[in-house]
Chain A
Amino acid sequence: MTTPVYLDHAATTPVRDEVMAAMLPYFGPRFGNPSSVHRWGREARVALDEAREKLAGCLGAHPDEVCFTSGGTEGDNFAILGAFRTLRARGRIAAVTTPSEHKAILAAVHEVAREGGEERMVGVTSNGLVDDASFTRCLDERVAVASVMWVNNETGVIQDVPRLAAQVKTAGALFHTDAVQAFGKVPIDARAVPFDLLTISGHKIGAPKGIGALFIRRGTPLEPLMHGGSQDRGRRPGTENVAFAVGLATAAELLIAEHEMEGARLTRLRDSLEAALRERISDVVIHGAGAPRAPHIVNMSIPGTDAESMLMALDLRGVACSAGSACQSGSVSASHVLTAMGVPAPIANAALRLSLGCLSDEACVMRVADLLGTLSAKARGSFATAF
């Protein structure tokens, strides 16, 4: 049996050893509640504050601008619903976003509409980039918040967030970006780019599942999602997850320190993967190839195949990747992101997302390219006879 290949880093990553080591004391000897007045409490509080400071440093933010959350979905919901519920009183009732966002944003924007607000969808181009004219049309004095994902989780396409953020600020609305896939892949500096709200998630960068953060720019009014104690300035009540916050901060610092080298390494791997795929499968479609892309995601379709069968065949040979959006039952349906980009259904249904990261190297990338070449030849042979 050949060694397994994990090419699904955009789904999740293993917790890094350094992160595990940093977290460990907070499950054991330093178990205190940060709100307690005694020494155990103080110890925990200090650890939490340090974690906040470190993470803020990684984002170019002030520590008080960092709010720990349970992850990307909470951050996205907090940003959209918090902004809408605060600003509706001032007549700003619309949420603007794109159809290629993560489900967390799409569902939150839908909730805005359900609560009496308005959802406005911006068009995207065939490369997955925001359509400028459409974006401009959606912005007016009734907009509470506009949200555009920095790096798309399915295609890796990078939006021009600095420009979009500035445009939204000019229109007087709040700008949010889901930076879950962007963190560590594109430079993020809150002092240089005028986003008001930014979501990150721990488990995509070597921290555990169940921790994330929302950057909330000073002075940004945001109605909390939950109600309770005064933790995190009342923005996020509930006893803080100290160990995971420490883990997130540790992972973030490692990420930033390694960002350049790792980015270059992933870019090389990505380029050789794509070259190898094009060599073996002449008609392979690489989605978003005409747009700037983060180096860790390759979203590709082999015409004449179906992603569901390919995922099974790959997994049975020890290769893990993903397709479309997984639904709750674990089955696959066509990606809403590719559909929004105007990709025809047969090609969208063939799309596989290969995402690189800490477990990827040249050998595994070449193995997957070889395997995909073989599978595509075989699948297209059998499809030709089946129909």
Chain B
Amino acid sequence: MLSGPKAGDRVLVAMSGGVDSSVAAALLVEQGCDVVGVTMKLHDDGVDVPDRPCCSLDSTSDARRVCERLGVPHYVLNLADRFGQDVLDDFVREYARGRTPIPCVRCNTFTKFRDLLVKADAIDAHWIATGHYARTGVVNGSRALLRGLDPNKDQSYFLWGIERPVLDRMVLPVGHQTKPETREIARRFGLRTAEKIESQDICFVPDGNHARVLEEHLGANAPALTRGPLRLESGETVGEHEGFARYTIGQRRGLPGGFAEPMFVVDILPSERAVVIGPREALLGRGLEARELNWLSDTPAVGARVQVQVRHRAKPVPATVVRLDGDEIELALEEGVNAITPGQSLVLFDNEHVLGGGVIERGMRGSEPAVSRRVGLPILA
């Protein structure tokens, strides 16, 4: 059995004000842990939206009231400066480069499981808990990150970036249950967050309109937000778009009709402000490169077979490590994968076990397995 917090151990619980982290706190209190709830203030109150599921004043109040109900202290921690640098600025930069970032990954890596850990140290909390649907366990004698048991909720995809030693301090109390079970536990504890709607949006993009956030930071006249050519893969211009940062690979919405088959965004070329569109099969990738690698297990060898996931909720596919170069990796996929998108995360699994991950640099198309073309040809940026 893996060792988690024991009764009496102090656990800092990151509470967004949602049901998952509320229940995480409640379960730890029930276990007899010395729970300290904290809500991170990550951006200005200026953009406060009432009823937003997380990061709003209402959500902070919910977290505070849940803690009061559980009889544990609650604090609000201002991590806005660091979050701004590590997460928000990167989000803006990535879109400006024609990529599609996942701010939640960086928030987990740099904010929740790094900056918040320093706060945990300050109050002698060895453990840090969140409401993520993922699990920790032991694989080959080492602490390991595992998928959540509920395949519909599994959030392990977003956690690949944390430093490996953090696994020894991480507690994920809801990772063993399904969302309906979590709600049931919340009701049992009488928590006000039991029926709260789930947040699907990025916390600093409450209305889902990420272009508005980009406008605030880049200005409405930024190249990424202004008109550019819509092209076919042949290079032929077939129309205009309203700014490439409004598009992501695989997107269909907002593209003109009138083609023989449905068209999708297949590439974004920021230097030419161009958005390239093509038919569905043009989205299919058989290989990919990723950077900023982080390992939560021992580094696999070139030639190792793993499963990879290139998007949240995507089906994992078998793949082979073709090249491994410091913090860069290249993989050959054994079956075609749709819409491999620069900026999204590549996560490597061994079944349930999260081996590590990186940020996708580019997908490689073609029907041939990438391995046959690429082996022995290292590409250096």
Contact = CB atoms under 8 A, between A and B. Distances in A.
- Looking at chain B, what size class is its interface with the partner chain? 10 to 19
A231 interface: no
A309 B119 contact: yes
A309 B122 contact: yes
A386 B122 CA distance: 11
Given A308-B77, A312-B36, A333-B78, A328 B123 contact: no
B118 interface: yes
A306 B75 CA distance: 15
B36 A331 contact: no
A332 B76 CA distance: 8
Contact of A329 (B36, B76, B121): B76
Nearest to B114: A386
B57 A312 contact: no
Contacts of A332: 78
A310 B75 CA distance: 12
Contacts of B64: 330
B73 interface: yes
Contacts of A312: 36, 38, 75, 119, 122-123
A316 interface: yes
A343 interface: no
Contacts of B121: 382, 386
Interface in B25-50: 36, 38-39, 41, 45
Given A331-B77, A386-B118, A316 B45 contact: no
A329 B123 CA distance: 21
A316 B123 contact: yes
A271 interface: no
Contacts of B122: 306, 309-310, 312-313, 379, 382
B45 A328 contact: yes
A261 interface: no
B interface majority secondary structure: mixed
Which one of A327, A328, A330 has the highest number of Cβ atoms from chain B below 10 Å of its Cβ?
A330
Contact of B60 (A309, A313, A329, A382): A329
Interface in B226-257: none
Contacts of B38: 312
A189 interface: no
A308 B41 CA distance: 12
B73 A329 contact: no
A315 B123 CA distance: 10
A316 B36 contact: yes
Given A330-B60, A332-B78, A308 B45 contact: no
Contacts of A310: 122
A312 B119 CA distance: 9
Contacts of A327: 41, 45, 78
A331 B78 contact: yes
A8 to B, nearest CB: 15
Contacts of A330: 60, 64, 75-76
A332 B39 CA distance: 12
8 contacts: A309-B123, A312-B36, A312-B75, A312-B123, A315-B73, A316-B36, A327-B78, A382-B121
Interface of B: 36, 38-39, 41, 45, 57, 60, 64, 73, 75-78, 118-119, 121-124
Given A308-B78, A315-B75, A386-B118, 11 more contacts: A306-B122, A308-B75, A312-B36, A316-B73, A316-B123, A329-B39, A329-B76, A330-B64, A331-B41, A331-B76, A382-B121
Interface of A: 306, 308-313, 315-316, 327-333, 379, 382, 386
